Structure 1
Amino acid sequence: MAEHGAHLTSAYSAEIPTIFEVLAQDSLMSIVRPAVKHAVRVLAENRPETFSWLLQYFDELYCLLDFTVQRYYLQKYGASFAENFYDLKRVPANSSSSRLPKTRQWTSLVCLVLIPYVKTKVDQMFEDLRHRYGPSGRISSGHHPAIRKFLQAFLAAYPYVHMTWEGACLWYQLAYMLGQGRFHSPFLHLSGTELRRLGEDDLPTQQDRKHVSWADARLAQRIGIITRKSLSAAAVTVSTSLSVGVFFLQFLEWWYSSDTNAPSLTALPIPDPPQNDYQGSSCICPLCARTRTNDTALSVSGYVFCYPCIHGYIQKHGCCPVTGFPARTDHMIKLYPPDS
């Protein structure tokens, strides 16, 4: 009896992936997104009249693409794309069943696609508000009082919410690594599923499928054979392309990590001093001609503007308003004077 129990325990442990496997599949999708975004950015900058909309709606388009891919893999393999890539599968928590029911597939989709999308948009909103109103978080009086209070509360509370979430993720990973938890992330816990390694029973088999030779098949059967083989070939092609594409996107992310395609700032000519009325003042914004707020320098030219002024101008015109040099929003540098 003890030997039988030890055998069951060792077999069960063999099914549970290690912390390195689960973290590897997590990092796979975290690498894919920035690599795809960089490829889209390069495409949009080279052909802005045709592909600029791809960068503008990237989050929504990527969410739709991610939803399509993850739904296909959850229905066919019972795992996400990254989990299947590392020979893992999802099983219902607190259940002896090895198949993933429809309800667990949809909850997994919500945790894999929808919640990360919402978190990305909230992070972007927080960063935009923090850069727009500075570290003090003082919202201008131009907003409705209720909206102003909400934004101020959001700026004050979100860093603690984000810290709590990251702490929870770390706690789940430590508990899983020490064998004290079945879930390595809160997302997996919320979906009600656990990760297991693929076994022999999960491999496709042809033994139970009725085989009909081409010579003995009728016309309708031949059409069915051609259709099945075509769909199978298409599925294998898509799956292989995704796997190869992952490595290609990882290479792109590494290759463009230093933004080698961006023009060197030292290669640009030194701009002439402006000939406007604000030339003699060091605290006037060249765009609004008023005292600057939230000082922001443009690295391609060195001129300093108000953050809302230069942010809106670059998004609309894509250049420095003083020198005309090509500029992007990532060329903006926030300045923090000593008296701030």
Structure 2
Amino acid sequence: MSFVTVGGDGSARPTFFELVAAERLMPSLKAAAAYSLSVFAQRRPGFHRLLDWEDECFALVTALLDRQALATSSASFADSLYGLRRVPVDARTDSGASSSGSGGGEGAAGSSDSPARSLSRRQQRMTLLLLVGLPYVKAKLDALYSRHRTHVDGVLGLGLARLQRQASPPAQPGDAAARDGWLPRLRAAALAAFLRAYPWLHAGQEAASFAYQLAYLLDSTSYYSPAVHLLRQRIARVSGHELVEAERSTRARRAAELARARAKGAAPARLAREGALRAGYALADHTRNALILSVFAFKILEWWYTSGEEKLASQKALPPPPPPPAPRPAPDGLPLPEDPATCPLCRQARTNPALTTASGYAFCYPCIFTHVEQHGRCPITHIPATVDSIRRLYQST
């Protein structure tokens, strides 16, 4: 099963849209799998364990699919669905393609590298490592940053300073635990450095990918992405002749394996080996189609439920409930200023407004952050509060 019609001599350069579609296929599969697991987990709580290991499970499935595709067609699983394959580029071809400029994109794609060339075992292993490892590491770094990014939301790094103070409390005289607390301090410093540097690293990675894609779109390079350039590979179309030869080779290999399975051993053992081989062949032939159909089914269900929820929401729109009454100020709490635009703490015009969800009164963000961090309560109502309950306010001008 393929999404495109292949043909010609295989030297044609893939279009930008083919490569984008192949690149986005695996994230779509991951979203479909995560959505399905979340739906099943609502009825079968045991599926929550798989959701906890979502990245690891999908990396394992991706590794199996890509390993099979690389071994049989010198392509990733997503590339093979779009009739594409990966062709190694040697230094001589690479320098020729670079010196030819924008007019050499097509020539580089079909001149020096024969379409029959396949990836070596070492190139397959390196390709599999990047195809599986990079998305997995990226997902873990994104999750780590999302989990701790509230620490960088404060003004002038107040959140990071709080994080470091919590990880390395002031040392007391004679406190052995404080003297041995270098590891928490090191972890806090590493986390702070990561939270500051990761947005720039992410922006750099996105900028590099955009530059490669723009250069490929303008026919200035044969490399679609930095990863493909690092692997010294280019992506080419699979010709009809190559498809026929690959099918013929697969049939011959399977026939030889079945013949060897029938050649020796007792009859039950021969039947068991032959049945196992045929089951493996059927699984390899139909797994890809089943995964693609699952993506279509996921998109159809997503559209169905989204349109149904919007229709129900428009039919049963209820008026919003009235807001609850404001908490009363404490007798010994901070008095409210006469001007609602004045901060009750600094008695100046409120800037960078924020509130605590415990009381709902608005202050300047640095003022309320420092007060709640020191006293652990709202200064007006004395209702207990934490810095995690502080919410920034954005006023339209």
TM-score interval, normalised by the smaller of the two chains: 0.5 to 0.7
CA contact under 8 A between 2:29 and 2:291: conserved in structure 1? no
How many residues are paired up? 290
The one of 232, 239, 242 equivalent to 1:201 is 242
CA contact under 8 A between 2:212 and 2:223: conserved in structure 1? yes
* In 1: Cα distance, 2:304 partner to 2:288 partner: 24
Q: Deviations over 1:68-110 (max 9, x none)?
A: 2222222222211211111111121226562121111111112
Query: For the structure 1 residues 249 and 129, does the alpha-carbon distance in structure 2 shift closer, same or farther, using more than 3 Å as the test?
Result: same
* In 2: Cα distance, 1:31 partner to 1:267 partner: 37
* In 2: Cα distance, 1:48 partner to 1:268 partner: 34
Matched, 1:42 2:39: yes
Shift of 1:275: 10
Shift of 1:228: 4.8
* In 2: Cα distance, 1:335 partner to 1:42 partner: 33
Aligned counterpart, 2:87:
91
* In 2: Cα distance, 1:26 partner to 1:49 partner: 33
* In 2: Cα distance, 1:127 partner to 1:248 partner: 30
1:177-192 to structure 2, matched below 5 A, reads 177-192=217-232
Matched, 1:115 2:134: yes
CA contact under 8 A between 1:285 and 1:292: conserved in structure 2? no
Q: Could you tell me which runs of 5 or more consecutive residues in structure 2 were left unpaired when the two chains were aligned.
A: 1-7, 91-112, 169-184, 335-353, 359-368, 374-383
* Larger radius of gyration between Structure 1 and Structure 2: 2
The residue identity in structure 2 corresponding to 1:64 is L
Tell me whether 108-117 or 67-76 shows the greater mean CA deviation: 67-76
Matched, 1:157 2:197: yes
CA contact under 8 A between 2:355 and 2:392: conserved in structure 1? no
Query: For the structure 1 residues 252 and 105, does the alpha-carbon distance in structure 2 shift closer, same or farther, using more than 3 Å as the test?
Result: farther
The one of 67, 76, 80 equivalent to 2:72 is 76
Tell me whether 129-138 or 55-64 shows the greater mean CA deviation: 129-138
The residue identity in structure 2 corresponding to 1:28 is L
Shift of 1:309: 7.2
Aligned counterpart, 2:56:
60
SS of alignment partner, residue 91 of structure 1: strand
Aligned counterpart, 2:4:
none
CA contact under 8 A between 1:63 and 1:113: conserved in structure 2? yes
The residue identity in structure 1 corresponding to 2:300 is F
* In 1: Cα distance, 2:226 partner to 2:247 partner: 31
SS of alignment partner, residue 172 of structure 1: helix
Query: For the structure 1 residues 116 and 135, does the alpha-carbon distance in structure 2 shift closer, same or farther, using more than 3 Å as the test?
Result: farther
Matched, 1:243 2:292: yes
* In 2: Cα distance, 1:29 partner to 1:255 partner: 22
Aligned counterpart, 2:105:
none
Aligned counterpart, 2:209:
169
The one of 128, 136, 144 equivalent to 1:125 is 144
Query: For the structure 1 residues 246 and 133, does the alpha-carbon distance in structure 2 shift closer, same or farther, using more than 3 Å as the test?
Result: same
Query: For the structure 1 residues 52 and 233, does the alpha-carbon distance in structure 2 shift closer, same or farther, using more than 3 Å as the test?
Result: closer
* In 2: Cα distance, 1:237 partner to 1:55 partner: 25
Query: For the structure 1 residues 133 and 65, does the alpha-carbon distance in structure 2 shift closer, same or farther, using more than 3 Å as the test?
Result: same
Query: For the structure 1 residues 260 and 167, does the alpha-carbon distance in structure 2 shift closer, same or farther, using more than 3 Å as the test?
Result: same
* In 2: Cα distance, 1:59 partner to 1:186 partner: 23
The residue identity in structure 2 corresponding to 1:240 is N
Shift of 1:118: 0.6
Q: Deviations over 1:236-255 (max 9, x none)?
A: 22232123223223334545
Percent of aligned pairs with the same amino acid: 29
Query: For the structure 1 residues 34 and 103, does the alpha-carbon distance in structure 2 shift closer, same or farther, using more than 3 Å as the test?
Result: same
CA contact under 8 A between 2:65 and 2:77: conserved in structure 1? yes
Query: For the structure 1 residues 259 and 62, does the alpha-carbon distance in structure 2 shift closer, same or farther, using more than 3 Å as the test?
Result: farther
Query: For the structure 1 residues 128 and 260, does the alpha-carbon distance in structure 2 shift closer, same or farther, using more than 3 Å as the test?
Result: farther
SS of alignment partner, residue 166 of structure 2: coil
Tell me whether 101-110 or 88-97 shows the greater mean CA deviation: 88-97
* In 1: Cα distance, 2:135 partner to 2:210 partner: 17
* In 1: Cα distance, 2:133 partner to 2:280 partner: 29
SS of alignment partner, residue 224 of structure 2: coil
The residue identity in structure 1 corresponding to 2:284 is A
- TM-score in terms of structure 2 length: 0.59
Q: Deviations over 1:204-241 (max 9, x none)?
A: 1158968x99xxx9979887766554433232222321
CA contact under 8 A between 1:172 and 1:185: conserved in structure 2? yes
Shift of 1:13: 4.5
Q: CA RMSD in A?
A: 4.3
Q: Deviations over 1:182-212 (max 9, x none)?
A: 11111222233221111212341158968x9
Aligned counterpart, 1:134:
153
Query: For the structure 1 residues 222 and 283, does the alpha-carbon distance in structure 2 shift closer, same or farther, using more than 3 Å as the test?
Result: closer
Q: Deviations over 1:43-72 (max 9, x none)?
A: 22x136322212222122222222222222
* In 2: Cα distance, 1:223 partner to 1:237 partner: 21
